[in-house]
Copies of this chain bind each other. A is one copy, B any other.
C-alpha cells in the first residue's frame, strides 16, 4: 500500500494521490477546470440519481435554463454582483463578432430562473412552483482544487416560489432534511451536522441558510449542501408576484438550495484511508468486485458465474480478470478505488467449494461456501455501510470538544470541531475567530437539531471548525 502518501504525513497530498491513483479526476487544460474521469463520474452519477429521486419525492420538477445570462440580469440584485463579479467568465465574442451586450457564463442560474419564475407565477394556483436544475456553473477560481474548488463544477440548484413565508420555510427545511441529510447520512454514510448559518456566514440575500456540515479525515469541516430561505428579497428584485385568492397581488416567498461535485471530494476525505478511497455500498457504482486469483480458464469461468449470480441477486458487480495485470495489482486497484466488498476466486478455494470474501473497510477475509455467497456478500455490504458510518461518527465524537470559552474553542478547532454556547461567542467572537481562519459552521439546538425561527440566542450551540 505504499502507493499513496499516508494521510498523517500530508493530508492534502494524500488527497491528490487518491484522485490520481483511483483515476477520479485530473486538471483540465484551462486553469481551474477539471476532467472527471469515468470512475469519478460514476460516483457522481450515483450521487445524482439518489439526490434526484429525493428531490422528485419532495415534489420539485427538473428543468433546464441557459448557460448564458445577460450581464444586466446580475446587476438586478445588488448583493449578487458584489458576490460574483470577481468570479465571472464573460463572453464578449459570439458568432465571430463582438457582442453588443456581453453575456456572463452562469455562476448560478438564480437570476435567469428568477425571471421565469416571475413569468410563470401568475395566480396563487401556480404556487408553490418547485423547480430544480442539474447543470454546470462557472466561478473563476485562482486556487483550484479538484472537486473542492474548481472554475467549472457540476451541481443541482433548486429554486422555488411559495405563497407565504411558512410554506417557503417548511419547504427549505424539508429539502435540508429529507433530501440532503437523508442522502448524506443514509447513502454517503457521512454523519453531517445540520443547522443554520450565522448572519456572517449566510448566503448573500438569504434570510436563513441551513447547512449540512461533514467532518473530514483531517478534522476539518466541509459544507456539503445548503438550503436557503430568501424571504421576499429575491421576489422583489425579480418581480415574482401573484394574484391571491383575495384578488390582490402579493409578492411570493422564495427558496434556493444546492449540492455539487464537491460531495465527491467530501466522500474521499470523509471515508478514505491510507489504502485509498472507501465507498459506502449504497453509493458504490461497483459494490462487489470479483477477482480470479490467476489467469486460469476454470477459475475465470467460476468467477464469471459468480458475477452473474451476484448480479441476479440485485447487486452491482464487476469482474476484474484483466490478463495483463497480476492478482496483487488488481487487488490494490480495487482497494484504491474503494470497492466495498471483494470476492477472490482461487483454484484451491474452488476445490474446497469456497471463495474468499474481503471487506474493504476492515480488510477482514472470510472463506464462504459457494452456495452462500450471495447472502453473505449482501450481509457484508450492509456491514460495510454501517461500519463506515460508525467510524465517521466515532471520528467526529473523538474530535469534537465541548468548550465554554473562545480560547478553548480555537484550541479544539485546531484538530476538529468545538461545540460552544453561541452566547459565549456572538458576532464579535465570531469575527475574532475568523482571524485564525476559524468559522462558525452552524448553529444548532442543544440536541443537535435545526433551530426553529426565533429560537433565543442562549439556546443555540455553535460548531466551530477549520473548513474547506
Contacts and interface: CB of A to CB of B under 8 A. Distances in A.
A42 B62 CA distance: 7
Given A36-B63, A63-B35, A90-B94, A324 B41 contact: no
Contacts of A116: 35
B68 A89 contact: yes
A431 interface: no
A30 B96 contact: no
Contacts of A88: 93-96
B136 A67 contact: yes
Contacts of A115: 29
Interface in A130-164: 131, 135-136, 138, 140-142, 151-152, 154
Contacts of A102: 93
29 contacts: A29-B70, A29-B73, A30-B103, A33-B67, A33-B68, A35-B64, A35-B116, A36-B63, A36-B64, A38-B62, A38-B63, A41-B61, A41-B63, A42-B62, A44-B64, A45-B62, A66-B152, A68-B152, A86-B95, A87-B95, A88-B93, A88-B94, A90-B93, A91-B105, A93-B102, A105-B105, A123-B324, A135-B136, A136-B136
A89 B91 CA distance: 6
Q: How extensive is the interface on chain A, given as a class? A: 35 or more
Overall SS of chain A's interface: mixed
A138 B30 contact: no
Given A35-B63, A66-B152, 5 more contacts: A30-B103, A35-B112, A35-B116, A88-B96, A89-B93
Contacts of A28: 65-66, 68, 112
Interface string A20-50: 0000000011100111111011101100000
A66 B153 CA distance: 9
Interface in A281-333: 322, 324
A331 B125 CA distance: 18
A30 B322 CA distance: 50
Contacts of A64: 35-36, 41, 44, 154
A451 to B, nearest CB: 33
Contacts of A37: 63
Interface of A: 28-30, 33-38, 40-42, 44-45, 61-70, 73, 85-96, 102-103, 105, 112, 115-116, 123, 125, 131, 135-136, 138, 140-142, 151-152, 154, 322, 324
Q: Max chain B CB contacts within 10 Å: which of A41, A45, A67, A138? A: A67
Contacts of A30: 66, 68-70, 103
A138 B91 CA distance: 12
B70 A41 contact: no
A90 to B, nearest CB: 4
A29 B103 CA distance: 10
A62 B41 contact: yes
A65 B38 CA distance: 10
Given A37-B63, A38-B61, A151 B93 contact: no
Nearest to A140: B95
Contacts of A125: 322, 324
Contacts of A91: 89-92, 105
A69 B68 CA distance: 16
Nearest to A64: B36
Q: Max chain B CB contacts within 10 Å: which of A29, A42, A140? A: A29
A38 B93 contact: no
A66 B112 CA distance: 22
B140 A94 contact: yes
Q: Max chain B CB contacts within 10 Å: which of A33, A42, A86, A91? A: A91
A66 B28 CA distance: 6
A65 B34 CA distance: 7
Contacts of A66: 28-30, 33-35, 152
A35 B96 contact: no
Contacts of A136: 67, 135-136
A35 B125 CA distance: 22
Contacts of A65: 28, 35-36
Contacts of A142: 95
A93 B92 contact: yes
A35 B66 CA distance: 6
A51 to B, nearest CB: 14
